[in-house]
Amino acid sequence: MSEISEIGEFGLISRLTKDLKTINQSTIKGVGDDAAVLNFGSKQTLVTTDLLLEGVHFNLEYVPLKHLGYKAAVVNFSDIYAMNGRPTQITVGLGVSKRFSIENIEELYSGIRLACERYGVDLVGGDTCSSMTGLTIAITCLGEAKKEEIVYRSGAKLNNLICVSGNLGSAYMGLQLLERERIVLRADENASPAFEGREYLLERQLKPEARKDIIEQLRKAGIKPTAMMDISDGLSSEIMHICKASNVGCAIYEDKIPIDYQAAVLAEEMNLNIVTCALNGGEDYELVFTCSLDDYEKLIPLDDVYLVGQITKPEYGCKLIGRNGEELTLKAQGWNFDH
């Protein structure tokens, strides 16, 4: 393994970004100057930033660096898709402690670059510095959208349908599985991780994907959501954000929430309530959106899109309707690494 000190900050940047080719016409100048130069013409610029801290957002005992790089990029892309836009460029900031080798950081960057290749995004700059507290990753993503296509949180209207993509709670159950096996291995280093048959849950936690395909489906179907968010902190938290911004209430039906079979089985095995995990687990990076009742017929044929509720009057509040018709008030518990 090579020490980063052998080549220094600029040598590392040069090594990580060599042979980067830009693929978007809006990228006028990428890596190699004081700032990237972007030209969006008639389109609106979208910008989002995510910060990931070792020991808070990820644990390197079980998170491969390439997966971490991929995930760090993809979660930013997801925010742009949640605005009904298209991610186009990212900058990457790294805080690196001396326990990491050049090869370690190259592995991290290989994941970031793979995500950029798969989603058609340019890596155009960033910064690196030494850290006393492990690894820190800060990614800023820029995107573009026509002004009339951008979707905000504040557009939900009374009687709008509430839909989600994919399934919920799987990423959280993947985390519970990883944490459980980490504890087992600490107690017995000869033990083998019990991951067989649960690979999907691990993938949802370690290598999530942004739902570019859902945005494309909606566009082809002629559906413009009235409000939209990506589900990073759990469905409960996100729908409450939409309701607050839109000054409306909501009813989410428990039996309509899409849940993966593997996630449900593991939750029962670990004595967890899978609906609670789906509502509050977070890190699924699915989309929750609202749309007009008039779009109902267009929604039915869409793949991996599920109708889970409806928008109500603000005085109704945000409610979960149980399987027997009981009403429970939703709480925005969000996601916490320690839980």
CA dihedral 184, 188, 190, 194 (to 10 degrees): -10
166/89 same-domain check = no
Of 46, 99, 92, 96, the C-alpha closest to 69 is: 92
* CATH code (residue 322): 3.90.650.10
Does one domain contain both 212 and 117? no
| Rounded Cα distance, 295 and 6, in Å | 59
Q: Quick one: 157 and 283 in the same domain? A: yes
Strand bridging mode 86-96 / 122-130: parallel
Q: What is the pLDDT of residue 198?
A: 93
- Same domain, yes or no, for 229 and 142? no
Q: Are 252 and 331 in contact (CB under 8 A)?
A: no
For residue 334, is it within any domain? no
Domain limit, last residue, from 148, 176, 191:
148
Last residue of a domain, one of 148, 170, 197: 148
- Domain, as residue range, for 234: 153-329
- pLDDT digits over 230-268, tens only? 999 999 999 999 999 999 999 999 999 999 999 999 999
What is the predicted pLDDT for the residue at 66?
A: 98
Q: Are 158 and 311 in contact (CB under 8 A)?
A: yes
Closest of 52, 45, 84 to residue 210, by C-alpha: 84
Q: Is residue 81 domain-shared with residue 184, that is, in the same domain?
A: no
What mean pLDDT is predicted for residues 291-314? 97
Task: List pLDDT tens digits, range 11-70.
Answer: 888 888 888 889 998 888 888 766 677 888 888 899 999 999 999 999 999 999 999 999
pLDDT tens digit sequence for 146-174:
989 999 999 999 999 999 999 999 999 99
Residue 144 near residue 40 (C-beta atoms within 8 A): yes
32 and 105 inside one domain:
yes
Query: 115, 133, 148 — which closes off a domain?
Result: 148
Instruction: Name the token pair of 31.
Output: 């890596």
Categorize the per-residue pLDDT at 126 as very low, low, confident or very high, splitting at 50, 70 and 90.
very high
Which secondary structure element, helix H or strand E, spans residue 229, and what is its range?
A: strand 227-230
Dist CA 286 CA 77 (whole Å):
12
Q: What is the pLDDT of residue 35?
A: 66
The C-alpha atoms of residue 327 and residue 24 are separated, in whole angstroms, by 49
Whether residues 157 and 236 share a domain: the answer is yes
pLDDT tens digits, 79-120: 999 999 999 999 999 999 999 999 999 999 999 999 999 999
Considering the domain boundaries, does residue 88 fall inside one?
Answer: yes
pLDDT above 70: residue 335: no
Instruction: Categorize the per-residue pLDDT at 336 as very low, low, confident or very high, splitting at 50, 70 and 90.
Output: very low
Task: Give residue 31's pLDDT.
Answer: 80
Between CA 213 and CA 300 the distance in angstroms is 16
Same-domain check for residues 178 and 275: yes
pLDDT at 191 over 80: no
Residue 93 in any domain: the answer is: yes
Q: How many domains does the chain have?
A: 2
